[in-house]
């Protein structure tokens, strides 16, 4: 077949390759074979045609491609970690970012402040990832048609890196010596301009490399990431410090000043802060270095607009590696009260911070004081006087045991005393809240006062001669110390004051009931259910009388009523084993003064030896569920905890035997 018949004169396409020696290889593509997708082809080497071949391949894709299809759509290859300078021009606005020491990025324009390193790295990545969607024109006469004469956005990025260079040694005798490597600085600059939308759907924009003549398009999604959002690119941290690097703290609030310095043994101060709460200081520093601005006011009004002319708090931090201290001023709240204005000294911008984030800075410096109230051993207490309201309880230790002296004749609740002495021996506040302001915390008229008499061990002088030192078996010398603890409950929050110290402590809510709890045995009576032979109950207007016989319990007014003796036994057991929450009067109390002559429940339990235990019990409080009760014969007035009588049935039917039909039916669970 002739070349003309094969469509090779002229060919439909020619692919030419040239090797490094300049030798050319051409591949000519002819027409299709009749009734087939195969084509005629031949090779031409150095201008000499070879034989004609038929190839079984559809070359339409290769033949339809344009020259632009073979162009790389990667705009540039940026070494992202080497970026040192970024300039973004957005029409009239200019943004400038530079990388400083320690790879920290700084915003130089439009304001000078720190940048968020992660956000800048994302910006560099977005710049490096822009790709050509389509090449439009190689050398347009004008760029105005593309919006590139005065581009919407222009980005210039510089990189800087070190390149190792081995110098050539021209001296022959040094040929055997390895040349000492040297480095040189290599800089590159990349630039991209972004113009108008290129399609009606606004999915692409025209782009152009600043040093190239051609115009292309890129997706809007890729170039939009280059438009700077200053609020997102700047570092929102209010203070750029590591908490572990802080070496000194000065906090001024309302005229009170705290000055603390970190030592090898921890934080130390003077005056009120001679003993420091390490956790409180750490929390103050952590909350400060972790503080972030939610908004920046870069062109602020005068300081008085933000309450910064007379700041509510001033915190100064010194840190390793910092030439000068960092001073943070806390101004007023924003109109909503949800945020607060703050300013770092030396910076013109005013920062808006969430109000809870600055709460620690507004606390009285005394809150940094140690939370330790008393630290001793429980076995060193000799006497405890506990006055709660008008109730006085006194316990004292003799040579062997503790005894309850007041109320007289009451058995001691050993478990309650153990809890009390343990808590007193290791008394630690939840926090220190104030100094001297006793009225605000109810301590000008405390709800409870505890007086302690204890022994305090005296450490032997270090200079004491070795022969005069006590032996390891000798008891350490002690002295007697008396302390007073005042307690008050304000809005269910317990506060205390120790001795005459001016400090007000907030206690954990679980501690207050232990410190003010009953010390007399809370078991109301030691009688056993088997000792009771008769019960009289007055419940509102109903009167029930149960008598124990040989066959069990009977309803005395009507012997034909069949009682469930187990339920009556349960009633007796509940009444005898009532556990007191606290005594209002252990003996000699008048139930009528508490309104108990009109009690909801009046129970008289008669023993087999003709003694009577009469209990009057009120309705539960609507607020707390607590009931007030009295053991009439003893003059003992007490409080019962909420739910103490929940299982008591106040009706006759609750103690009757079930009928055969009722017994056969499924019964609901008893409360």
For residue range 10-49, what is the model confidence (pLDDT) as tens digits? 888 888 888 888 788 888 888 888 888 888 889 888 778 8
pLDDT of 91 above 50: yes
Q: Is residue 173 part of a domain?
A: no
- Co-location of 321 and 437 in the same domain: no
pLDDT of 441 above 80: yes
Q: Is residue 617 part of a domain?
A: yes
pLDDT of 121 above 70: yes
> Which whole number is the average pLDDT over 503-523?
95
- Co-location of 312 and 227 in the same domain: no
- Co-location of 204 and 114 in the same domain: yes
Lowest model confidence (mean pLDDT) among 225-234, 498-507, 571-580: 225-234
Contact 350, 341 (CB under 8 A): yes
- Co-location of 112 and 225 in the same domain: yes
Strand order across the beta sheet in which 24-32 lies? 13-18, 24-32, 39-45, 48-55
- Co-location of 156 and 58 in the same domain: no
Listed in order, strand segments (DSSP E) in 179-301 are: 182-197, 204-209, 215-219, 246-253, 256-263, 266-268, 293-297
Q: Is residue 8 part of a domain?
A: no
pLDDT of 170 above 60: no
Looking at 368, 402, 431, the residue that finishes a domain is 368
d(CA 600, CA 537): 10
- Co-location of 407 and 289 in the same domain: no
- Co-location of 612 and 559 in the same domain: yes
Q: What is the pLDDT of residue 664?
A: 44
pLDDT in tens, 317-374: 999 878 889 999 999 999 999 999 999 998 889 999 999 999 999 999 999 999 999 9
Q: Is residue 172 part of a domain?
A: no
| pLDDT band at 542; cut points 50, 70, 90 | confident
pLDDT in tens, 38-78: 888 898 887 788 898 888 877 767 767 776 677 888 898 88
Max mean pLDDT among 182-186, 501-505, 540-544 falls in 501-505
Output the six-digit token pair for 567: 């339920």
> Which whole number is the average pLDDT over 114-140?
92
Phi, psi of 229 (to 5 degrees): -115, 100
- 440: three-class secondary structure by DSSP: helix
- Co-location of 565 and 636 in the same domain: yes
* Predicted TM-score (pTM) above 0.75: no
- Co-location of 552 and 660 in the same domain: yes
> Which whole number is the average pLDDT over 206-230?
93
Residue with the larger pLDDT of the pair 665 and 136: 136
Q: Is residue 329 part of a domain?
A: yes
d(CA 510, CA 11): 97
Q: What is the pLDDT of residue 467?
A: 57
Q: What is the pLDDT of residue 167?
A: 64
Output the six-digit token pair for 354: 């969430």
Pairing between β-strand 83-90 and β-strand 24-32 as defined by DSSP bridges: unpaired
Count CA atoms closer than 13 A to 305's CA, side-chain side: 6
Q: H or E element: which one contains 493? A: strand 493-498
Q: What is the pLDDT of residue 96?
A: 95
Residue 386, classified by CB atoms within 10 Å of its CB into exposed (0-12), middle (13-18) or buried (19+), is buried
Q: Is residue 214 part of a domain?
A: yes
- Co-location of 46 and 139 in the same domain: no
Mean pLDDT of the chain: 89
Q: What is the pLDDT of residue 13?
A: 84
- Co-location of 414 and 429 in the same domain: yes
User: How many domains, the chain?
Assistant: 5
pLDDT of 173 above 70: no
d(CA 105, CA 87): 13
| Structural domain boundaries, residue 565 | 529-664
CA distances from 258 to 101, 266, 267, 313 (A): 34, 16, 12, 11
pLDDT of 172 above 60: no
Contact 532, 607 (CB under 8 A): yes
> Rounded to the nearest 10 degrees, how much is the dihedral formed by the CA atoms of 611, 612, 613, 615?
-170
> Which whole number is the average pLDDT over 218-227?
94
- Co-location of 54 and 101 in the same domain: no
- 352: three-class secondary structure by DSSP: strand
- 619: three-class secondary structure by DSSP: coil
Q: Is residue 468 part of a domain?
A: no
Q: Is residue 464 part of a domain?
A: no
d(CA 51, CA 659): 117
Phi, psi of 311 (to 5 degrees): -60, 145
d(CA 351, CA 329): 10
> Which whole number is the average pLDDT over 639-645?
93
């Amino acid at each position: 077949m002739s070349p003309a018949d094969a469509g090779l004169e002229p060919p439909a396409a020619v692919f030419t390759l040239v090797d490094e020696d300049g030798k050319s290889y051409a591949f000519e593509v002819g027409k299709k074979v009749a009734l087939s997708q195969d084509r005629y082809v031949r090779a031409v080497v150095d201008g000499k045609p070879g034989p004609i071949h038929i190839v079984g391949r559809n070359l339409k894709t290769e033949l339809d491609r344009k020259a632009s299809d073979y162009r790389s759509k990667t705009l540039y290859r940026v070494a992202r970690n080497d970026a040192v300078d970024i300039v973004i021009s957005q029409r009239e606005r200019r943004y400038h970012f530079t990388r400083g020491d320690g790879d920290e990025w700084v915003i130089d324009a439009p304001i000078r402040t720190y940048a968020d390193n992660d956000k800048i790295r994302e910006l560099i990545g977005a710049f490096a990832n822009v790709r050509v969607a389509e090449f439009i024109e190689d050398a347009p006469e004008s760029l105005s048609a593309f919006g590139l004469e005065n581009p919407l956005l222009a980005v210039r990025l510089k990189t800087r890196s070190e390149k190792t260079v081995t110098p050539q040694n021209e001296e022959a005798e040094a040929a055997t010596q390895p040349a000492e490597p040297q480095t040189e600085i290599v800089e590159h600059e990349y630039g991209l301009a972004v113009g108008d939308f290129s399609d009606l759907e606004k999915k692409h924009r025209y782009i152009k490399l600043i040093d190239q003549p051609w115009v292309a398009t890129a997706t809007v999604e890729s170039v939009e990431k280059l438009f700077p959002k200053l609020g997102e690119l700047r570092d929102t941290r209010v203070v750029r410090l590591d908490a572990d690097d802080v070496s000194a703290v000065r906090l001024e609030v309302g005229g009170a000043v705290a000055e603390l310095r970190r030592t090898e043994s921890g934080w130390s101060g003077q005056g009120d802060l001679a003993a420091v709460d390490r956790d409180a200081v750490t929390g103050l520093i952590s909350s400060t270095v972790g503080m972030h601005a939610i908004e920046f006011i870069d062109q602020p009004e005068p300081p008085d607009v933000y309450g910064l002319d007379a700041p509510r708090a001033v915190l100064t931090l010194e840190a390793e590696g910092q030439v000068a201290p960092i001073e943070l001023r806390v101004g007023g709240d924003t109109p909503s009260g949800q945020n607060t204005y703050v300013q770092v000294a030396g910076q013109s911008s005013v920062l808006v911070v969430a109000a809870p984030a600055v709460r620690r800075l507004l606390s009285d410096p005394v809150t940094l004081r140690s939370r330790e109230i008393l630290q001793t051993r429980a076995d060193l207490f000799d006497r405890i006087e506990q006055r709660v309201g008008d109730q006085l309880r006194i316990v004292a230790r003799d040579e062997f045991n503790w005894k309850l002296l007041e109320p007289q004749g009451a058995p001691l609740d050993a478990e309650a005393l153990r809890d009390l002495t343990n808590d007193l021996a290791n008394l630690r506040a939840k926090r220190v809240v104030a100094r001297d302001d006793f009225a605000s915390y109810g301590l000008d008229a405390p709800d409870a006062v505890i007086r302690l008499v204890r022994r305090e061990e005296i450490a032997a002088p270090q200079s004491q001669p070795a022969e005069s030192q006590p032996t390891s078996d000798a008891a350490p010398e002690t002295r007697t110390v008396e302390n007073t603890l005042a307690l008050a409950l304000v809005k269910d929050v317990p506060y205390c004051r120790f001795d005459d110290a001016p400090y007000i402590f907030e206690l954990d809510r679980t501690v207050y009931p232990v410190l003010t709890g009953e010390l007399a045995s809370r078991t109301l009576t030691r009688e056993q259910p088997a000792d009771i032979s008769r019960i009289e109950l007055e419940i509102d207007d109903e009167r029930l009388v149960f008598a124990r016989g040989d066959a069990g319990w009977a309803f005395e007014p009507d012997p034909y009523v069949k009682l469930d003796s187990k339920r009556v036994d349960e009633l007796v057991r509940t009444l005898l084993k009532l556990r007191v929450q606290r005594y209002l009067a252990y003996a000699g109390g008048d139930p009528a003064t508490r309104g108990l002559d009109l009690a909801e429940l009046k129970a008289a339990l008669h023993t087999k030896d003709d003694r009577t235990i009469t209990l009057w019990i009120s309705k539960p409080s609507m607020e707390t569920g607590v009931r007030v009760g009295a053991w009439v014969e003893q003059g003992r007035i007490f409080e019962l905890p909420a739910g103490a009588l929940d299982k008591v049935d106040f009706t006759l039917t609750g103690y009757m035997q079930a009928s055969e039909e009722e017994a056969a039916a499924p019964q609901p669970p008893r409360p």
